[in-house]
């Protein structure tokens, strides 16, 4: 581990100090568990994670925001003490080293700008994330000879009474006087509720070095957006091309540098501490073993059903199972180019022996998730609901899931994933035994 430099940037009437810590991801996760605990503790300060992908290699750069060089160094020292095996911090007090590592920015830069969706005089937002796409973009042939950078700037979002009043007013308006379909209202309400709890305002960026590869990246993002948020009726991803060096170099969020975002746009960019924790502990796909027996027709034995709102959680479930040898089918990754969404879904379900339902208030209202559960039951697949929120199924969901054994993940995420893995492995072992003559 090395402190590359402690640089200072002028922002308005204040000076922001930024400490850069470069760490190759030797372990299975992006950041060690002790580091995650330090970064996500209340009042821990802002930080940014930059993931540099090139020729199959991954490199992690951590930027720590502070109000002074002394505070920046104090935060770095805390990380060094938390993971002694990483070695003592090695100061490199040269501007050239900082420029070589931190200011090495791609010419093609993209920012996920959640503002811009409007209906009448009301703003709308989507629950869209860039991070789950990284493992799908890096193997693309068009990116074989270029570097892809992902950066997420995270800033603590503490409780605010004025913001809370605005959120409750918005929730009441959505319930009482909304011109939108029920699924849109449910999505906007779920987003707004994020702002009622402490979390992190997170800006996501993508960068590409080769201009000819940028088109392939934006096309892939648009397809992913259409396959997820397009089912809600949204058209065109909120990916914006531009020059975002101020935010990439400092790790500061747009809410600090640009104009304050509208309420729902802020909610769309907000990660709960638990969600951000799960993102920072995810395994990269590069060395992930997949050793599960395929289902009929060679399809993965586990199908993951989820609402588009919950994709980040569904992707975390997929990575957890696959990193431990159980192959999964998940949209949009397993949809073949040119294949229709319904045909692909049925192909995945027909080949599966288990359907994991990532259950939330959004999936409870999703007709797509309902149909996927029905199709799984017709195939005599085991249905395992993984509940993200303390909500009960209603209507058809209550009928279909009433006899299933639930796993509650909203209080004990890691423990729930371990239990899920055990149940999946037991079922697959039993199903192989049943097929033997």
pTM for the full predicted model: 0.78
> Among 164-178, 260-274, 290-304, whose mean pLDDT is lowest?
290-304
> Is the pLDDT score of 16 beyond 60?
yes
**Residue 150, Cα to own-chain centre: how many angstroms?**
12
* β-strand partners of 201: 155, 270
**Where do the domains of the chain lie, and which CATH numbers do they carry?**
2-280 (no CATH), 289-435 (3.40.50.10140)
**Are the CB atoms for 204 and 150 separated by under 8 Å?**
yes
User: Over 90: is that where the pLDDT of 371 sits?
Assistant: yes
In 229-310, where does DSSP find H-type helix?
Answer: 245-250, 254-257, 263-268, 273-280
State the first-to-last Cα distance of the chain, in angstroms, to the nearest integer.
56
User: What is the reported pLDDT for 296?
Assistant: 45
Please give the pLDDT value at position 284.
Answer: 53
158: nearest Cα among 319, 295, 41: 41
| Listed residue (361, 234, 233) closest to 306, CA to CA | 361
Q: Which of 76-90, 151-165, 295-309 has the lowest mean pLDDT?
A: 76-90
Mean of the per-residue pLDDT values of the chain? 82
The string of pLDDT tens digits covering residues 43-62 is: 778 999 998 887 667 788 88
Report pLDDT for 342: 85
- Distance, CA of 84 to CA of 293 (rounded, Å): 40
**Residue 39 above 50 pLDDT?**
yes
Q: Which of 16-20, 72-76, 107-111, 196-200 has the highest mean pLDDT?
A: 107-111
- Locate 2 and state its tokens: 């090395």
CA atoms in the 13 A half-sphere facing the CB of 281: 20
* Percent of the chain surpassing pLDDT 70: 86
- Residue 295 pLDDT exceeds 60: no
Residues 175-201: tens digit of each pLDDT: 887 778 777 888 888 889 889 888 899
3-state secondary structure of 15: strand
- Tell me: the pLDDT tens digits for 110-156? 999 998 787 766 788 988 888 878 777 776 777 777 889 999 999 99
Give the single-character DSSP code of 269: T
Predicted confidence (pLDDT) per residue in 296-336, tens digit: 457 799 999 998 778 778 888 988 898 888 999 998 788 87
Condensed to tens digits (0 to 9), the pLDDT of residues 396-431 reads: 999 999 888 899 988 778 788 999 999 999 999 887
Please state which of the ranges 36-40, 77-81, 386-390 shows the lowest mean pLDDT: 77-81
Q: Which two tokens stand for residue 191?
A: 């987003």
């Amino acid at each position: 581990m090395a402190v590359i430099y402690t640089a200072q940037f002028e922002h308005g009437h204040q000076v922001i100090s930024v400490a850069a810590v470069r760490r190759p991801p030797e372990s299975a996760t992006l950041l060690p568990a002790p580091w995650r605990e330090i970064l996500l503790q209340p009042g821990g300060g802002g930080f940014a994670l930059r993931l540099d992908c090139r020729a199959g290699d991954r490199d992690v750069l951590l930027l720590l925001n502070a109000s002074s060089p002394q505070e920046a160094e104090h935060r770095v020292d805390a990380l060094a003490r938390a993971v002694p095996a990483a070695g003592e911090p090695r100061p490199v007090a040269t501007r050239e080293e900082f420029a070589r590592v931190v200011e090495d920015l791609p010419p093609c830069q993209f920012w996920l700008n959640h503002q811009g969706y409007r209906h009448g005089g009301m703003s709308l937002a989507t629950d869209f994330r860039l991070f789950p796409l990284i493992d799908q973009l890096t193997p693309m042939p068009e990116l074989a000879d270029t570097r892809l950078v992902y950066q997420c700037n995270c800033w603590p979002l503490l409780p605010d009474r004025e913001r809370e009043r605005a959120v409750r007013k918005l929730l009441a308006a959505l319930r009482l006087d909304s011109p939108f379909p029920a699924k849109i209202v449910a999505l906007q309400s779920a987003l707004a509720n994020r702002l009622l709890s402490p979390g992190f305002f997170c800006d996501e960026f993508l960068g590409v070095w080769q201009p000819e590869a940028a088109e392939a990246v934006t096309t892939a993002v648009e397809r992913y957006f259409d396959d997820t948020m397009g089912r809600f009726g949204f058209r065109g991803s909120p990916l914006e091309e531009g020059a975002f060096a101020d935010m990439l170099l400092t790790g500061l969020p747009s809410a600090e540098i640009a104009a304050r975002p509208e309420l729902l746009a802020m909610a769309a960019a907000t990660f709960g501490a638990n969600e951000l924790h799960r993102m920072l502990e995810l395994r990269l796909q590069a060395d992930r073993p997949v050793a599960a027996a395929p289902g009929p027709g060679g399809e993965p034995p586990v199908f993951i059903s989820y609402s588009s709102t919950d994709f980040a959680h569904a992707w975390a479930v997929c990575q957890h199972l696959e990193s431990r040898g159980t192959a999964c089918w998940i949209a949009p990754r397993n949809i073949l180019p040119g294949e229709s969404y319904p045909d692909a879904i049925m192909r995945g379900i027909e080949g599966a022996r288990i359907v994991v339902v990532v259950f939330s208030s959004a999936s409870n209202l999703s007709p797509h998730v309902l149909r996927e559960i029905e199709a799984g039951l017709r195939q005599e697949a085991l249905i395992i609901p993984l509940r993200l929120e303390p909500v009960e199924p209603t209507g058809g969901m209550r009928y279909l899931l009433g006899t299933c054994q639930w796993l509650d993940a909203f209080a004990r995420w890691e423990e729930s994933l371990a239990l899920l893995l055990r149940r999946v492995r037991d079922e697959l072992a039993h199903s192989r035994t049943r097929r033997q003559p």
